Structure 1
Amino acid sequence: MPVYEYKALDKNGKSRKGIVDADSSSTARKKLRSGGNYPIYIKESSAKAQKKAGGRAISLSLFDRITTKELHIFTRQLATLLGAKIPLVPSLSSLISQTTNPAFKKIIAQIKESVNEGNTLTNAISEHPKIFSNIYINMIRAGEASGSLDIVLERLADFGEKQEVLKGKLTAALIYPLVMALICVGVLIILITYIIPNITQVFVEMDKVLPLPTRILIGMSDFLKDYWFIVVFLMAALGISLKIFIQSKYGRPLWDYILLKIPVIGTVLQKIILARFSSTLSSLLESGVGLIASMEIVKTIMNNSQISQVVDDAIVQIREGKSMTVSLGNSPWFPPMFVQMVGVGEQAGTLEKMLKKVADAYEREVESAVVGMTSLIEPIMIVGMGGVVGAIILSILLPIFEMNQMIG
């Protein structure tokens, strides 16, 4: 049954928006009128209709975003309903009524319509690649093929929520140093641009040779005050150039290599990538996706080209008959402990369970490493800020000391 998006006026003259199931637009209008609503416009909202009109299956504005939290809730609720032996179409109908986000409500309605027409859930969600990731689609496909869709959906919800928790912890840990850095930069700009000129003006009027640090400070202050737009332009140009270089064919591998080699930060980044690799691969294998297909999917979500290349090479070697242990063992980015645990899992036939243990271990290490990193950043920032402020104060005090010596 087609899905129609409508805008209508209720009995009190208030505007209402929503979706309605009906065989045709005229039936949809009758449905709305019978409920006391007077339709202003009605249009078919199915993915098929939008494609016929030359549009996309979904087009979300800035204010109609579907959050990952909403997607996890949808997945968990659908798993619960299917686990209770409720058929797929009625389950989707129930979720439509429970969803408060209009954009997501429309997506679920389109999925329900597609399933109702005889398509699989995999095909239905594949029409919305901006909402459902490649991992999500492939796990659903494996769940439908094995007849354990509810279990796979439960795993998907667990996996997504676990990733969000880890991401939230990382974000929360890094917010404080970032805010502190912005405050320090702001204070220095105000200090050099507005406060220092008023203090050093006295020294300039004395018409005497000032110490070198004082002259440098006055020169920096005057330059920033008169030519701040040049500094802003150069910083913007540098940022854009760096971004273009990073996105280039040769720049991205070099940048990713540098990131992994940065002291402290590189180690934390490597552990984050390994935790994501293990967790994702484990979830895919548990859901019944083949090893090669799982590795292909995992390769696409690695945010580091160095490790993506290792995974790509491993896929080639696994196809040639080599084990995953051998394929990953030659890479400097996969530590011996990781490779050994994978080897044990392969030999015991419990690779997915061992990968899950590896993921848990690395996630714990990431949490402690991030705490340690932020604890290290804070004193470094304090010392750095103190050094800069101390240099400014010394530059101001040097002429005063010289004047005291002359008077003495």
Structure 2
Amino acid sequence: MATKPMRKSQKTKLYRWRWTGLGPNGRKVAGEMIAPKRVEVENTLKGQSIAIKNIRRKSAIGGGMGSIKPRDIMLFARQMATMIRAGVPVLQAFQVVAESLKKPAMSALVQELMNDVAAGSSFSEALRRHPDQFDRLFANLVEAGEQSGSLDHMLERVAAYKEKMESLKSRVKKALWYPAAVIAVGIGVTALLLIKVVPQFESLFQGFGAELPAMTRMTISMSEFAQQYWWWGVLGVMALVFFLRTGMKKSKAFRYRMHKMSLRIPVIGDILDKSSVARYSRTLATTFGAGVPLVEALETAEGAAGNMVYERAIAQIREDVATGQQLNFAMRMTDQFPALAVQMVGIGEEAGSLDAMLNRVADYYEEEVDNKVDTLTSLLEPFIIVVLGVLVGGLVISMYLPIFELGSVI
């Protein structure tokens, strides 16, 4: 227990340094460098025969952690796999990778891993000390690689898995953000016209001295309402977003209901459903294929499903498999997984190639997600034109109707 504070004090705090100087031929040079101390920057520049004029510290990377993305972890896994396959010792591989990484937060994290391994921990134990960056699957596969002597192969498998998962996530995000952007643009354009443009016409119509068309009166009423209560609308949207975010974080029951409701949204729900099946299949195939016991592999897959409805279903599958049930039968009992996925898993179990069949299931449903996203995008493009045309065109016509009628009278 006494070693924890010491470990925290050993974390490398990195800074970003901006430097200027003169090169060997007298040419002005400048750049940025990441290092814990100014003297290290000076030594590095002197080693490159650069006459230093100025070194200024720009910002600190607190605790060496910062913002680390899944793609950074994927790059780290590939680089470590390449180094280990080339016969480079693990500690030296850590050092080379830390120096090659451009993101200071990731570089500091790799240095912490190197310090842990140098202090006697195994690679997998060092990874488990950073659960926010390295999930259970990463640590389990590295541990399996250490035990079997195939660490480079396992790291490559982790990198390939991360790459496929990030690709799937990006497609799902595209499916979610595109409709949201369409709605936001439509609301924004309508609000701008009602608050800024319509009042200009209203002042013009007051001098007509004639009754305005019903469509124009309705637009003016909407404009007056928008001018008076627009900030209530903004506050309402902010309050709704805050309520949803807080409820999702603090209440599992609320999060489950929201996840269940999201699966029922037309088109988008189908994309989320197939995405969860693909993530479950890919994670289970990767962990089970690496030699991790099926029950433990299911526990890892449960955390990777991305939807609480599927997380509960996978938890039930894990309990049934632990009592001796076959995986395909346990999946069928949840009444959550598609019949095709259940049948393919059953074939894989009978043939003794469960991991290969799960990978095929993941490939199939990832392709389905891709096709659904493309279909959604192609359908929304004409929908955007129609919605914006109706909103903008309707407001414009309602404003010009009195002018047209006035012209016909004259």
Instruction: Please state which band the TM-score falls in when normalised by the shorter chain.
Output: 0.7 to 0.9
Distance 1:5 1:217, change over 3 A: closer
The answer to whether the aligner puts 1:351 opposite 2:354 as a matched pair is yes
- Select which of 383, 386, 389 maps to 1:383: 386
The answer to whether the aligner puts 1:274 opposite 2:277 as a matched pair is yes
State the 1:246 CA deviation.
4.2
Separation of aligned partners in 1, 2:181 and 2:72: 29
State the 1:400 CA deviation.
4.9
State the 1:120 CA deviation.
0.5
Which residue in the other structure is 2:160 paired with?
158
Equivalent AA in structure 2 for residue 200 of structure 1 = E
Equivalent AA in structure 1 for residue 65 of structure 2 = L
Q: Is the 8 Å Cα contact of residues 281 and 359 (structure 2) preserved in structure 1?
A: yes
Which residue in the other structure is 1:362 paired with?
365
Separation of aligned partners in 2, 1:279 and 1:6: 36
Distance 1:3 1:12, change over 3 A: farther
Which residue in the other structure is 1:129 paired with?
131
Q: Is the 8 Å Cα contact of residues 317 and 334 (structure 2) preserved in structure 1?
A: no
Which residue in the other structure is 2:101 paired with?
99
Distance 1:4 1:268, change over 3 A: closer
Distance 1:382 1:75, change over 3 A: same
Separation of aligned partners in 2, 1:253 and 1:208: 57
Cα-to-partner distance string for 1:83-140 (whole Å, 9 max, x where unaligned): 2333222222222332233322222222122212221101112222222122211211
Distance 1:314 1:9, change over 3 A: closer
Which residue in the other structure is 1:60 paired with?
65
- Select which of 233, 253, 265 maps to 1:250: 253
Distance 1:86 1:310, change over 3 A: same
State the 1:230 CA deviation.
1.9
Separation of aligned partners in 2, 1:232 and 1:395: 26
Distance 1:224 1:82, change over 3 A: same
Cα-to-partner distance string for 1:20-61 (whole Å, 9 max, x where unaligned): 9xxxxxxxx99x9899699x9xxxxxxxxxxxxxxx9x5534
Which residue in the other structure is 2:35 paired with?
18
Distance 1:94 1:173, change over 3 A: same
Q: Is the 8 Å Cα contact of residues 143 and 288 (structure 1) preserved in structure 2?
A: no
Separation of aligned partners in 2, 1:136 and 1:256: 26
TM-score (norm 1): 0.81
State the 1:397 CA deviation.
4.7
Separation of aligned partners in 1, 2:329 and 2:18: 66
Separation of aligned partners in 2, 1:110 and 1:343: 44
Distance 1:387 1:331, change over 3 A: farther
TM-score (norm 2): 0.81
Distance 1:321 1:92, change over 3 A: same
The answer to whether the aligner puts 1:231 opposite 2:233 as a matched pair is yes
State the 1:214 CA deviation.
2.3
Distance 1:205 1:338, change over 3 A: same
Equivalent AA in structure 2 for residue 116 of structure 1 = A
CA RMSD of aligned residues (A): 3.5
Equivalent AA in structure 2 for residue 18 of structure 1 = A
For structure 1, list consecutive stretches of 5 or more residues without a partner in the other structure. 21-28, 41-55
Which residue in the other structure is 1:149 paired with?
151
What SS class does the counterpart of residue 35 from structure 2 fall into? strand
What SS class does the counterpart of residue 227 from structure 1 fall into? helix
Equivalent AA in structure 2 for residue 251 of structure 1 = F
Separation of aligned partners in 1, 2:342 and 2:136: 26
Equivalent AA in structure 2 for residue 204 of structure 1 = Q
Equivalent AA in structure 1 for residue 243 of structure 2 = S
Separation of aligned partners in 2, 1:96 and 1:11: 24
The answer to whether the aligner puts 1:204 opposite 2:209 as a matched pair is no
Distance 1:385 1:347, change over 3 A: same
Q: Is the 8 Å Cα contact of residues 197 and 221 (structure 1) preserved in structure 2?
A: yes
Distance 1:174 1:299, change over 3 A: closer
1:50-89 → structure 2 map (5 Å cutoff):
58=63, 60-61=65-66, 65-89=67-91
Which residue in the other structure is 2:3 paired with?
none
Separation of aligned partners in 2, 1:68 and 1:243: 22
State the 1:353 CA deviation.
0.6
State the 1:326 CA deviation.
1.2
Q: Is the 8 Å Cα contact of residues 271 and 362 (structure 1) preserved in structure 2?
A: yes
The answer to whether the aligner puts 1:329 opposite 2:346 as a matched pair is no
Distance 1:6 1:185, change over 3 A: closer
Equivalent AA in structure 2 for residue 203 of structure 1 = F
Separation of aligned partners in 2, 1:397 and 1:9: 59
Distance 1:313 1:182, change over 3 A: same
Which residue in the other structure is 1:24 paired with?
none
Which residue in the other structure is 1:306 paired with?
309
Q: Is the 8 Å Cα contact of residues 177 and 378 (structure 1) preserved in structure 2?
A: no
Cα-to-partner distance string for 1:302-335 (whole Å, 9 max, x where unaligned): 2211111111111111111111111111334311
Number of equivalent positions = 379
For structure 2, list consecutive stretches of 5 or more residues without a partner in the other structure. 1-9, 23-29, 56-61
- Select which of 256, 261, 265 maps to 1:262: 265
**More deviation in 176-185 or 220-229?**
176-185
Which residue in the other structure is 1:296 paired with?
299
